[in-house]
Amino acid sequence: MDEKKILLVDDEVQILNMLEEAFKLHGYSVTTAESAESALEILAKESIMVMFLDLKLPGMSGIDLCRRIREENQIAVISALTGYSNFFGLLECRAAGFDDFFTKPAGLKTLLKAAEDAFEKIERWKIYEYNLV
């Protein structure tokens, strides 16, 4: 995987900008969206395999967005970001297809490590992609 692309989806522009800057400083290519609908438009045009989605978005929720992404992409590594944390929310996220769950304010080191791990996982999975062709 040459370019390490990340999609960040959050309606809080300050959080979006802070995360975008942090990931870019660590060598990632970052695309941002302030709504689920914008994220779906981006994903229709571009292949992005690592995503961090806010759960509370205007219009379509982050949980519904994850479900929609999973209809097309079972391999992407999708993490939830939320300011509202409870056990039932975690269960709902897992059922929707999220791979991980972070409560805001999540530490930048934690999110950067999650991105690193996600790209390593996708790289390991590439061997199966080649074997299926």
Q: With 80 as the cut, is the pLDDT of residue 86 above it? A: no
Cis peptide preceding 58, ω within 30 of 0: no
- Backbone phi, then psi, for 55, in 5-degree steps? -85, -35
pLDDT tens column, 40-79: 999 999 999 999 999 999 999 999 999 999 999 999 999 9
The reported pTM is 0.91
> Where is mean pLDDT largest: 28-32, 93-97, 106-110, 126-130?
28-32
Domain 5-132: CATH class, spelled out: alpha beta
Q: What angle separates helix 108-132 from helix 13-25, to the nearest 10 degrees?
A: 70
Q: Tell me if 55 sits within 8 A of 76, measured CB to CB.
A: no
